[in-house]
Chains A and B, each alone.
Chain A
Amino acid sequence: MIRNQKKEPESSTDIILESISDGVFTVDLDWKITSFNRAAEEITGISRKEAIGRRCSEVFRASMCEVSCALRQTLEKGSSLINQATFIITAEGQRIPISVSTALLKDKKGKVIGGAETFRDLSLVEELRKELKGLYHLGDWVSQSLQMRRLFEILPQVASSETTLLIQGETGTGKDFLARTIHNLSSRKNRPFVAVNCGALPEALLESELFGYKAGAFTGANRDKLGRFALAEGGTLFLDEIGELTPSIQVKLLRVLQDKTYEPLGGTRTLKADVRLITATHKNLASLVKKGLFREDLYYRIHIVQLELPPLRNRKEDIPLLAEHFVGRFNRIQGKAITGLSPETLSLLMAHDYPGNIRELENIIEHAFVLCNEGEIQLCHLPESFILKPVPGFRVPLLGKDPFQVLETQLIMQTLVRNQFDRDAAARELGIHKSTLYRKIQKLKITLPLSR
């Protein structure tokens, strides 16, 4: 490893550090980099000449630098950290997953003179892990679901065509991420991807957002403003919640799709639009057409290819995978080392129907991260409303570790609550005899409210 000093003969330690594939750098007590090995140069994309003498956070650019710097913890506590997961941003803007270990640097008299950090590029490990798990993946999408596999199979062809797309899916299923994945797989990937939520803006504002305006077009328009069509020129424009478009914007959008031209507000010149359009909605557009709320001609223009994102309740096999993904991400962001979900927590998550889909699952895990500091996420870390709505006198038993028992308890409790504790009705809904239900209530130690 070449140090700051010139012409210093290389020691055997330097030779070893230069030959290993882990990145290694050292800092002094002012957080300035004092040495930077070959692998560190390769992983970060920064030469040691540029790195040495600079603050480590400017060179390393890890997600943990700001909130939970590993070296700072080591220097403050005097103990090493091993294999902390994080990511760095390279000079090319790539996010590289890495694991970090740290140690104190001492001089011959034992006085602390700085710290050493070693880091390992986990990009390849991540890829292989996905392969070994037999997961279907495409871009940033990972799934175990057959429905998603079918979607992944057709996505490259869909992306390579120039066809207008319609993505349908409930709120929180990841329509925006799917649109971005399609853009990244397309020949337009080096051009802009522009997203607009049509439901978030009032009509007048949406029109100026989409098509832009010329100075003087209306009061307050002091200068020309480019619209999203212009910003997406050569790339992809993603229109989310297209079912919210008003009739007048629908007409203007239809014209862009038919003629590939539009006019900014207050403009006299017609502009050409070289933009691929991806649209999305959580509504049933066909039924909006029948009700006369959505133009039929526009509907047929945008739903040339239609992709359906299944709700999470229809691909529950992905819940452990998604939960693991969120745990890993929150660990990296919050600098925690949560090891995963306890079996009973996972069972409960599997039993839920997720009206809010993936976003709801993400919020549940984020909530758990606030309450859980280490180890596995337990039932007590989940939102109270998620476990069960409190009913006076209705005692929730301490759930055991048997996932089937947890699931069964949760199912019975939910059915009882839904049927106002009418055991006959609950038994009918569950498809079992009322005496069987009674036995299960006894066995699972569920206490019902006295008045029922």
Chain B
Amino acid sequence: MSPVLDVSRHLSVIEYQGGEILKRVTAFLPEEETYHRACRIESLKVDLLICGAVSNSLREMLESRGIQLVSFVSGDIEDVLSAWLQGKLPRPELTMPGCHRGRGCGRRNGGCHRGQNRLKRHPK
């Protein structure tokens, strides 16, 4: 996983249904400015974004565009994806340090466990 979403160069865009991957493409993310970056991610029409560290400003811009974030996730992308599809994310070994016990990690209210069961993608 890329450590900082604010500067990461690529997004792996995955369509899934019922725990099964339907399509997977890599999107280039050349935009440097936070606002333009948020617009670019919005244009990819993603419902959910699993990422590493993210600044409050970018997180707010994405959430205000209706994109749900599971942030401060670390580890190998395949492990993260597999954990997500099995409904096992977040989990401590795939979470960046400083992001448990309900504190911190870019959220004003609560820790990193939000939305675990609410994030479903409907590709059609």
Mark A residues whose CB is within 8 Å of B: 44-47, 50-51, 54-55, 57-63, 65-67, 89-95, 176-177, 190, 192-195, 222-223, 226, 231-232, 235, 329-330, 333, 362, 366
Counting chain B residues whose Cβ lies within 8 A of the other chain, the interface size class is: 35 or more
* A61 and B60 in contact, given A45-B104, A54-B97, A55-B74 (Cβ under 8 angstroms): no
Chain A residues positioned under 8 Å from B65 (CB to CB): 194-195
Chain B residues with Cβ under 8 A from A66's Cβ? 2-4, 7-9
Minimal Cβ-Cβ distance residue in A for B55: A95
Distance A136 CA – B8 CA, assembled complex (angstroms): 32
Residues of B within 8 A of A329 (CB): 32
B32, B35, B104: which contacts A92 (Cβ < 8 A)? B104
Q: Which of A59, A89, A222, A329 has the most CB of B within 10 A?
A: A89
Chain A residues contacting B3 (CB-CB under 8 Å) are 57-58, 60-62, 65-66
In the docked arrangement, what's the CA distance between A249 and B55, Å?
34
The contact of B6 among A63, A90, A194, A226, by CB within 8 Å, is A63
CB-CB nearest in chain B for A200: B39
Interface residue? B26 (CB, 8 A): no
Q: Is B11 an interface residue (CB 8 A)?
A: no
For B66, list chain A residues within 8 Å (CB): 226, 231
Complex contact B106–A92 (CB within 8 A) = yes
Given contacts A93-B55, A94-B55, contact A44 B4 (CB under 8 A): no
* Nearest residue, chain A, Cβ from B66: A231
**What are 5 sample pairs from A and B whose C-beta atoms fall under 8 A apart?**
A44-B98, A89-B4, A91-B96, A91-B103, A193-B61
* Cβ–Cβ contact B108 & A190, under 8 A: yes
Contact flag A47-B98 (CB < 8 Å), given A58-B3, A222-B124? yes
Asked if B98 contacts A195 (CB within 8 A), the reply is: no
In Å, the complex CA distance between A176 and B34 comes to: 12
B56 lies within 8 A of chain A by Cβ: yes
Cβ 8 A contact of A58, one of B56, B96, B104? B96
Q: Are B9 and A89 in contact (CB under 8 A)?
A: no
- A231/B98 contact (C-beta < 8 A), A55-B74, A94-B56, A95-B6 known: no
B99 and A67 form a contact (CB under 8 A): no
- What residues of A have a CB within 8 angstroms of the CB of B35 in the complex? 176-177
Given contacts A61-B3, A62-B4, A176-B35, contact A195 B64 (CB under 8 A): yes
> Which residues of B, 94-124, contact A by the 8 Å Cβ criterion?
96-99, 103-108, 122, 124
Most chain-B CB neighbours within 10 Å: which of A44, A45, A232? A45
Q: Are A192 and B6 in contact (CB under 8 A)?
A: no
| Interface: B81 (CB within 8 A) | no
* A61/B53 in contact, CB under 8 A: yes
CB distance from A206 to the nearest CB of B (A): 15
How far does the alpha carbon of A195 sit from the alpha carbon of B101 in the complex, in Å?
Answer: 33
Assembly CA distance A50 to B74 (angstroms):
14
Q: How far is the CA of A329 from the CA of B99 in the complex (A)?
A: 27
Bound complex: CA of A60 vs CA of B100, how far in Å? 17
Assuming A93-B106, A95-B55, is B98 touching A67 (CB within 8 A)? no
CB 8 Å contact bits of B58-72 with A (1 = contact, 0 = none): 011101111000001
**1/0 contact string of B1-43 vs chain A (CB within 8 Å):** 0111011110000000000000000000000110100000000
Is B54 engaged at the interface, CB distance under 8 Å to the other chain? yes
Q: How far is the CA of A235 from the CA of B63 in the complex (A)?
A: 13
B90 CB-CB contact with A under 8 Å: no
Contacts of A44 in B (CB 8 A): 98
In the complex, which residue of chain A has the Cβ closest to the Cβ of B99? A91
CB neighbors of A among B44-58 (8 A): 52-57
Q: Is the CB of B97 within 8 A of A46?
A: yes
Q: Is the CB of B32 within 8 A of A333?
A: yes
Identity of the chain A residue whose Cβ is nearest the Cβ of B59 in the assembled complex: A93
Q: Choose one: B54, B61, B122; the contact of A93 (CB below 8 Å).
A: B54
Smallest CB-CB separation from B43: which chain A residue? Answer: A200
Q: Which residues of A contact B57 (CB under 8 A)?
A: 95
| Least CB separation from A58: chain B residue | B74
A235 CB contacts on chain B under 8 angstroms: 64
Known: A63-B7, A66-B8. 11 other contacts (CB 8 A): A58-B97, A61-B3, A89-B55, A89-B106, A91-B72, A91-B98, A92-B104, A93-B53, A193-B61, A195-B65, A223-B122
Which B-chain residue is minimally distant from A232 (CB atoms)? B64
A236–chain B nearest beta-carbon distance, Å? 9
- A50-B98, A54-B97 known; A61 vs B63 contact (CB < 8 Å): no
Cα distance A295–B67 when bound, in Å?
33
Contact present for A45 and B4 (CB under 8 Å): no
